[in-house]
Every structure is written in C-alpha cells, then in structure tokens.
Amino acid sequence: MKKLNALLCVALVVLLNACGTFGPKPEVVYHRPDVKIPAESRLIVFPAMTFAGKTDIDKGLKGSIASGWSDFYGSKAIPAGDVVIQVAKKAKFDLNKLVQAMDNASYLEQNLKKDRRFKKFIKLLTQKLGNYDLAMTLVHGNEAIYNAGNNIRLHLGYFNTKTLTWKWITKIQDKKGTLGNWTAAYGALVSNSFGSLEEVHTAERNLASESK
C-alpha cells in the first residue's frame, strides 16, 4: 500500500507539471524583490515542521517536500536535517519562534530580530553549513485530520540570513472533497506551492529586465 501511495504521488506530480495547476492555488503572502540573492548562493533546507515547531510529519508528505526543494533548487539545496535541531539546542533557541515569524511576518520585526539567541542560532548554523539563506516548510495536518474534513495547510518560506528577513512566503490549504485522497491532496499542495515559486522568480527576472 505504501509503495502504491508513493507511485500515486509521483504520478500526480507528473500530471500537475504536464497539465498546469490542479487543485488549490497557493498565495504569495509576502515577497521582497528588493532582497537580492546572488545566483550562485546555496540554501539550507530545514526539515519540515508543524506549526508547533515539531518534526513529526507524515513520512510521505515529508519526502514530497524534501523532493520539492531539491527539484526546484537542485544542487544549491543543502538538506540540514537534524543539524537544525542540534544547533537550536546549542543556541538555546526555541524554533517555535521562527515558526511564529513565518506565520506572522510582523513578529519577526517586533520580536525575533531583537532575540540574541536567534542571532546566535543563525550564526552557529551558517558557520556549520555555510553562510547561506534558509528554506522552511510548515505543515498543519495529517491523513486523519484530512479524512475528518478539516483543513490541511502548507507554508513555504525563504529567509535571508544577511538582512534577517523573509524574502518570500507562500501559503496554501485544502480539505477533503477537492481531490478526495490524502496522498493526492498533499501531492497537489506541494506541487502547486513550488509551482508558485516559479512565478515569483519569473516576476523578479522581469522586474530586473525592466530596470535595465
């Protein structure tokens, strides 16, 4: 059954890429085109987390998210895995604060930028993995929540470690009825979210061309 679900997810992603967006459409809720990222810059990819800052995510969904970052950014994506958790413990930084800053961008300006432990966390992490930006994924929901008819949510965020600000944040949600299957539903959330990033990058390229 697990192999069947994995094959179904792969098939769905291929279908979505071939036919365009299917299912819920993500919203780019925050975008800073003025935050410039060097073309050669790499990206430290956090493990997917819940809105409570935990990493106990559905395995299939977790794998789909990891593949999404890897497929979109290629060799520039650096999977951080447990290193993020270890560094946060060393810095005595509560990752839930960064989660709050992603769900509410104003929290970053009002609280997190003044947090010494947060700055220490960023310093230690970039010293260990490279002086790069951060990629975050937040997930609310699992198969049981989906089957109960409740919303499942997926947020993606790109955090610039030099300016200590988000470059962009996307949000998407869905519930049972649109696709009717948990594997297909989370496959659409992930695929459509990364599809919206292509739109963000295209908009920035167009803006750069117009300014020349």
Residue ranges of domains in the chain, CATH in brackets: 42-210 (3.40.50)
Grade residue 17 by pLDDT with cuts at 50, 70 and 90: very low
* In contact, 50 and 86? CB cutoff 8 Å: no
Confidence of residue 13 (pLDDT cuts 50, 70, 90): very low
Q: Write out pLDDT tens, residues 121-152.
A: 999 999 999 999 999 999 999 999 999 999 99
Give 189 or 16, the one with higher predicted confidence: 189
C-alpha closest to that of 171 among 53, 11, 74, 27: 27
Measured between its terminal Cα atoms, the distance across the chain in Å is 54
Report the distance separating Cα 163 and Cα 112, nearest Å.
13
The average pLDDT across 95-99 equals: 91
Confidence at residue 212, expressed as pLDDT on a 0 to 100 scale: 58
Residue 109: closest CA among 193, 32, 203, 41 = 32
Residue 90 has pLDDT above 90, yes or no: yes
H-run or E-run covering 73? helix 59-73
pLDDT in tens, 179-196: 678 999 999 999 999 998
User: Band of the pLDDT at 22, cuts 50, 70, 90?
Assistant: low
pLDDT of residue 40: 86
